[in-house]
Amino acid sequence: MGYVYVLIAATLWGLLGSFSKLAFQEGITPLEVAFWRAAIGSVLFGAHALLLRQAKVAPRDLVAVLGFGLLGISVFYAAYQFAVQAGGAALAAVLLYTAPALVALLAWPLLHERMTAGKLAALGLTLLGVAAISLQGGEVRLSAAALLWGMLSAFTYALYYIFGKLYLSRYSTPTIFLYALPVGALGLFPLVQFETKSLLAWGALLFIASLATYGANLAYYAGLRRLEATRAAVVATFEPVVAAGVAFAWWGERFGPLGYVGAGLVLLGLLVLTLEGRRR
């Protein structure tokens, strides 16, 4: 069941790009999309936590939760946008999805999760697949700034998996995001240039916040409770396959042959991981 939850989350996250593109088309900047995603999401998670009376965080954990808000929300959202600006979307995506490899490395000493041959094979297949999807066609502009921002986005994205494993045993998902998302929104606020928004733009922003953020995170962390961090990280890389399919159907964005090879490698990696999990 853990795999199903993470795949639901990956599907919702996969829709994020197309709905963000709709918001961009309506004149909203990427950083403003990121801000409203955090701000509206904080309202939804806050209401959820208060309704369930799950708003309390022990003082000893408050610094870690608020720090996650800055690193996992503000820095991650901003770093990824700067990576796209400096090196283009393809390179930013490749660097971002080095996160599962970082998770595997971090989970070994921090969470004492075993590094098996199956995990290594699945990681290799999914990373190769994401690289093929991202690099097919177009130009890739490698620079020191693109490398710096891209790896920073990957590192902060990897922290989602590690932080979730360390703190989900103590707190529910709404409790964590009740504190983290407002901090993330406040961290983004000085970077945002606010624009006048159409009804369609607000609709896109509400979808991004309610389903691609609130719904996706609930599903993902439900899966993470049932899976090792490395497994959840690899399964979540199904996201670019969904994103590519929706972008093709909605926006007419086409894969080249290498892109279809990459999608197949990602699916093969998921299959290897799932079969290895059943054998244990």
Report d(CA 73, CA 150) in Å as an integer.
15
Q: How far apart are CA 131 and CA 79, in angstroms?
A: 19
Question: What is the SS3 assignment for 147?
Answer: helix
CB atoms within 10 A of CB 247: 19
The span from the CA of 165 to the CA of 226, in Å, is: 10
Give the integer Cα–Cα distance in Å for 173 and 175. Answer: 5
pTM: 0.78
Q: Mean pLDDT for each 10-residue chunk of the chain (280 residues)?
A: 90 86 87 93 93 88 90 88 70 72 72 76 82 66 75 85 76 87 95 93 95 91 79 78 81 74 79 64
Tell me if 44 sits within 8 A of 181, measured CB to CB.
no
Report d(CA 171, CA 226) in Å as an integer. 15
Domain ranges of the chain: 2-279
Task: Tell which residue, 72, 188, 93, has the closest CA to residue 150.
Answer: 93
Longest dimension (CA), the chain: 54
Q: What is the rounded distance in angstroms from the CA atom of residue 103 to the CA atom of residue 101?
A: 5
Tell me, what's the pLDDT at 279?
54
